Amino acid sequence: MISSISNNFSSLASSLVSRLDSQNKGYLEQADLQSALTGLSSDAEDEAASLFSALDSDSDGKLTESELTASLNRLAEQLESQLSSGRMQQALGNMPPPPPPPEDDEGFTLDELKAQLNEIGNSDSEQASLISNIVANFEAADTNGDGKVSFTEAQAYDQSLSSTTTTASAGSAATDEAELAAMLRVMQLARSYGSDTITVQQTSVLYTTA
Protein backbone atom coordinates (compact mmCIF):
# COMPACT_ATOMS: atom_id res chain seq x y z
CA MET A 1 0.00 0.00 0.00
CA ILE A 2 1.07 3.58 -0.60
CA SER A 3 0.78 4.34 3.10
CA SER A 4 3.46 1.73 3.79
CA ILE A 5 6.17 4.10 2.55
CA SER A 6 4.90 7.20 4.37
CA ASN A 7 7.21 6.59 7.33
CA ASN A 8 10.15 7.24 5.00
CA PHE A 9 8.91 10.61 3.75
CA SER A 10 10.68 12.61 6.45
CA SER A 11 14.02 11.03 5.58
CA LEU A 12 13.26 11.38 1.86
CA ALA A 13 12.44 15.07 2.23
CA SER A 14 15.61 15.69 4.23
CA SER A 15 17.70 13.89 1.64
CA LEU A 16 16.18 15.72 -1.34
CA VAL A 17 16.43 19.16 0.23
CA SER A 18 20.06 18.66 1.20
CA ARG A 19 21.00 17.30 -2.24
CA LEU A 20 19.04 19.73 -4.42
CA ASP A 21 19.64 22.89 -2.35
CA SER A 22 22.87 23.82 -4.11
CA GLN A 23 23.07 27.25 -2.45
CA ASN A 24 22.49 25.95 1.09
CA LYS A 25 19.41 28.10 1.59
CA GLY A 26 17.71 25.54 3.82
CA TYR A 27 14.82 25.15 1.39
CA LEU A 28 14.12 24.47 -2.28
CA GLU A 29 12.91 26.89 -4.92
CA GLN A 30 11.31 26.09 -8.26
CA ALA A 31 14.66 26.71 -9.96
CA ASP A 32 16.21 23.92 -7.86
CA LEU A 33 13.62 21.44 -9.09
CA GLN A 34 14.02 22.63 -12.67
CA SER A 35 17.77 22.10 -12.46
CA ALA A 36 17.27 18.64 -11.02
CA LEU A 37 14.72 17.70 -13.69
CA THR A 38 16.81 18.91 -16.60
CA GLY A 39 18.37 15.52 -17.15
CA LEU A 40 15.12 13.64 -16.50
CA SER A 41 12.58 15.53 -18.57
CA SER A 42 12.45 17.17 -21.98
CA ASP A 43 10.18 19.85 -20.54
CA ALA A 44 11.91 20.52 -17.23
CA GLU A 45 10.64 24.09 -16.86
CA ASP A 46 6.93 23.31 -17.11
CA GLU A 47 7.25 20.10 -15.15
CA ALA A 48 9.17 21.84 -12.37
CA ALA A 49 6.45 24.50 -12.17
CA SER A 50 3.73 21.86 -11.91
CA LEU A 51 5.62 19.79 -9.35
CA PHE A 52 6.58 22.78 -7.23
CA SER A 53 2.97 23.98 -7.21
CA ALA A 54 1.82 20.55 -5.98
CA LEU A 55 4.39 20.50 -3.17
CA ASP A 56 4.52 24.17 -2.09
CA SER A 57 1.35 24.02 -0.01
CA ASP A 58 1.52 27.61 1.28
CA SER A 59 2.56 29.02 -2.12
CA ASP A 60 5.38 31.10 -0.64
CA GLY A 61 7.92 30.02 -3.24
CA LYS A 62 9.94 28.08 -0.65
CA LEU A 63 9.79 24.34 -0.14
CA THR A 64 11.15 23.42 3.27
CA GLU A 65 11.93 19.94 4.52
CA SER A 66 8.88 19.87 6.80
CA GLU A 67 6.63 21.20 4.04
CA LEU A 68 7.89 18.60 1.60
CA THR A 69 7.28 15.87 4.17
CA ALA A 70 3.74 17.07 4.79
CA SER A 71 3.01 17.39 1.07
CA LEU A 72 4.25 13.87 0.35
CA ASN A 73 2.11 12.47 3.15
CA ARG A 74 -0.90 14.39 1.81
CA LEU A 75 -0.37 13.11 -1.72
CA ALA A 76 0.05 9.56 -0.43
CA GLU A 77 -3.20 9.77 1.53
CA GLN A 78 -5.07 11.13 -1.48
CA LEU A 79 -3.71 8.42 -3.73
CA GLU A 80 -4.59 5.77 -1.15
CA SER A 81 -8.13 7.16 -1.07
CA GLN A 82 -8.23 7.05 -4.86
CA LEU A 83 -7.17 3.40 -4.84
CA SER A 84 -9.82 2.54 -2.24
CA SER A 85 -12.47 4.29 -4.30
CA GLY A 86 -11.36 2.36 -7.37
CA ARG A 87 -11.64 -0.92 -5.51
CA MET A 88 -15.14 0.04 -4.37
CA GLN A 89 -16.19 0.89 -7.92
CA GLN A 90 -14.81 -2.44 -9.12
CA ALA A 91 -16.73 -4.27 -6.41
CA LEU A 92 -19.93 -2.45 -7.35
CA GLY A 93 -19.31 -3.29 -10.99
CA ASN A 94 -19.22 -6.97 -10.11
CA MET A 95 -22.58 -6.83 -8.36
CA PRO A 96 -25.51 -8.58 -10.09
CA PRO A 97 -27.99 -6.35 -11.95
CA PRO A 98 -31.07 -5.13 -10.05
CA PRO A 99 -34.16 -7.32 -10.13
CA PRO A 100 -36.79 -6.67 -12.82
CA PRO A 101 -39.81 -4.57 -11.85
CA PRO A 102 -42.81 -6.46 -10.46
CA GLU A 103 -45.65 -7.26 -12.85
CA ASP A 104 -47.96 -4.98 -10.87
CA ASP A 105 -45.81 -1.85 -10.97
CA GLU A 106 -48.46 0.76 -10.27
CA GLY A 107 -46.21 2.70 -7.93
CA PHE A 108 -46.72 4.49 -4.62
CA THR A 109 -47.92 7.94 -3.70
CA LEU A 110 -45.80 10.30 -1.63
CA ASP A 111 -47.85 9.51 1.50
CA GLU A 112 -47.45 5.77 0.91
CA LEU A 113 -43.71 6.12 0.57
CA LYS A 114 -43.51 8.19 3.74
CA ALA A 115 -45.47 5.46 5.55
CA GLN A 116 -43.03 2.83 4.27
CA LEU A 117 -40.10 4.94 5.42
CA ASN A 118 -41.65 5.26 8.89
CA GLU A 119 -42.05 1.48 9.07
CA ILE A 120 -38.42 0.95 8.14
CA GLY A 121 -37.32 3.49 10.75
CA ASN A 122 -33.73 4.67 10.97
CA SER A 123 -32.35 1.67 9.16
CA ASP A 124 -29.23 2.25 7.09
CA SER A 125 -30.39 -0.23 4.48
CA GLU A 126 -30.17 0.50 0.78
CA GLN A 127 -33.96 0.37 0.57
CA ALA A 128 -34.38 3.02 3.26
CA SER A 129 -31.83 5.26 1.55
CA LEU A 130 -33.58 4.93 -1.81
CA ILE A 131 -37.04 5.62 -0.40
CA SER A 132 -35.70 8.60 1.52
CA ASN A 133 -34.22 10.04 -1.69
CA ILE A 134 -37.47 9.46 -3.56
CA VAL A 135 -39.52 11.13 -0.83
CA ALA A 136 -37.21 14.15 -0.82
CA ASN A 137 -37.33 14.43 -4.61
CA PHE A 138 -40.75 12.98 -5.39
CA GLU A 139 -41.62 15.25 -8.32
CA ALA A 140 -38.29 14.59 -10.02
CA ALA A 141 -38.70 10.83 -9.62
CA ASP A 142 -42.33 10.86 -10.80
CA THR A 143 -41.37 11.26 -14.44
CA ASN A 144 -44.83 10.60 -15.91
CA GLY A 145 -46.50 12.95 -13.43
CA ASP A 146 -49.22 10.51 -12.35
CA GLY A 147 -48.70 11.19 -8.64
CA LYS A 148 -47.00 7.86 -8.06
CA VAL A 149 -43.44 6.61 -8.30
CA SER A 150 -43.22 3.13 -9.75
CA PHE A 151 -40.42 0.65 -9.23
CA THR A 152 -39.13 1.46 -12.73
CA GLU A 153 -39.17 5.20 -12.04
CA ALA A 154 -37.41 4.68 -8.71
CA GLN A 155 -34.68 2.65 -10.40
CA ALA A 156 -34.27 5.29 -13.12
CA TYR A 157 -34.00 8.06 -10.53
CA ASP A 158 -31.46 6.09 -8.51
CA GLN A 159 -29.37 5.50 -11.64
CA SER A 160 -29.50 9.23 -12.44
CA LEU A 161 -28.03 9.96 -9.00
CA SER A 162 -25.26 7.42 -9.65
CA SER A 163 -24.52 9.05 -13.00
CA THR A 164 -24.20 12.43 -11.31
CA THR A 165 -21.74 10.98 -8.80
CA THR A 166 -19.75 9.38 -11.61
CA THR A 167 -19.58 12.70 -13.46
CA ALA A 168 -18.32 14.44 -10.34
CA SER A 169 -15.69 11.74 -9.90
CA ALA A 170 -14.59 12.16 -13.50
CA GLY A 171 -14.16 15.86 -12.85
CA SER A 172 -11.52 15.11 -10.24
CA ALA A 173 -9.69 12.59 -12.41
CA ALA A 174 -7.31 15.22 -13.76
CA THR A 175 -6.44 16.23 -10.20
CA ASP A 176 -5.79 12.62 -9.23
CA GLU A 177 -3.55 12.17 -12.26
CA ALA A 178 -1.57 15.30 -11.37
CA GLU A 179 -1.10 14.08 -7.81
CA LEU A 180 0.13 10.71 -9.03
CA ALA A 181 2.51 12.37 -11.50
CA ALA A 182 3.91 14.57 -8.73
CA MET A 183 4.51 11.62 -6.42
CA LEU A 184 6.12 9.55 -9.17
CA ARG A 185 8.43 12.39 -10.13
CA VAL A 186 9.56 12.89 -6.53
CA MET A 187 10.32 9.18 -6.29
CA GLN A 188 12.29 9.39 -9.53
CA LEU A 189 14.26 12.35 -8.20
CA ALA A 190 15.00 10.39 -5.03
CA ARG A 191 16.34 7.45 -7.01
CA SER A 192 18.27 9.62 -9.50
CA TYR A 193 20.00 11.57 -6.76
CA GLY A 194 21.01 8.52 -4.80
CA SER A 195 18.55 8.68 -1.93
CA ASP A 196 18.60 5.38 -0.07
CA THR A 197 15.39 6.10 1.84
CA ILE A 198 13.01 4.79 -0.84
CA THR A 199 13.64 1.41 -2.41
CA VAL A 200 12.72 0.23 -5.88
CA GLN A 201 10.21 -2.20 -4.36
CA GLN A 202 8.45 0.61 -2.53
CA THR A 203 8.24 2.93 -5.53
CA SER A 204 6.77 0.11 -7.61
CA VAL A 205 3.64 0.41 -5.48
CA LEU A 206 3.09 3.84 -6.97
CA TYR A 207 3.82 2.79 -10.55
CA THR A 208 1.14 0.09 -10.40
CA THR A 209 -1.50 2.79 -9.87
CA ALA A 210 -0.70 4.58 -13.11
130-139: long-range contacts at Cβ-Cβ below 8 A with a sequence spacing of 24 or more?
130/154, 130/158, 133/157, 133/158, 133/161, 135/110, 138/110, 138/113
d(CA 117, CA 125): 11
Total domains in the fold of the chain? 2
Which residue would you say has higher pLDDT here, 144 or 175? 144
Same domain, 80 and 137: no
Same domain, 7 and 84: yes
Same domain, 79 and 123: no
Same domain, 47 and 117: no
Lowest mean pLDDT among 30-44, 81-95, 194-208: 194-208
Average pLDDT over residues 3-8: 53
Give a yes or no: residue 141 inside a domain: yes
**What is the tens place of the pLDDT at every residue in 9-58?**
888 888 889 999 989 999 999 999 999 998 887 889 999 999 999 899 89
CB 37 within 8 A of CB 48: yes
Looking at residue 100, its amino acid is P
CATH of the domain at 51: 1.10.238.10
**Cα–Cα–Cα angle for 160, 161, 166, rounded to 5 degrees:** 95
Same domain, 14 and 44: yes
Same domain, 190 and 86: yes
Q: Is the pLDDT of residue 124 over 60?
A: no
Q: pLDDT above 90 covers what percent of the chain?
A: 18
Give a yes or no: residue 98 inside a domain: no
Same domain, 84 and 120: no
Give a yes or no: residue 18 inside a domain: yes
Average pLDDT over residues 58-84: 84
What pLDDT score does 49 carry?
A: 93
Give a yes or no: residue 31 inside a domain: yes
d(CA 64, CA 12): 12
DSSP code of residue 42: T
Q: Model confidence at 210, in pLDDT bands (50, 70, 90)?
A: very low
What predicted TM-score, i.e. pTM, was given to this entire model?
A: 0.53
Domain that holds residue 23: 2-93+174-207
d(CA 78, CA 63): 20
Same domain, 16 and 74: yes
Same domain, 45 and 148: no
Same domain, 116 and 127: yes
Same domain, 154 and 194: no
Range ranked top by mean pLDDT from 7-11, 40-44, 58-62, 105-109: 58-62
Q: Model confidence at 7, in pLDDT bands (50, 70, 90)?
A: low
Q: Is the pLDDT of residue 125 over 50?
A: yes
**Whole-number Cα distances in Å, 120 to 63, 98, 106, 148, 161:** 54, 21, 21, 20, 22
Same domain, 78 and 127: no
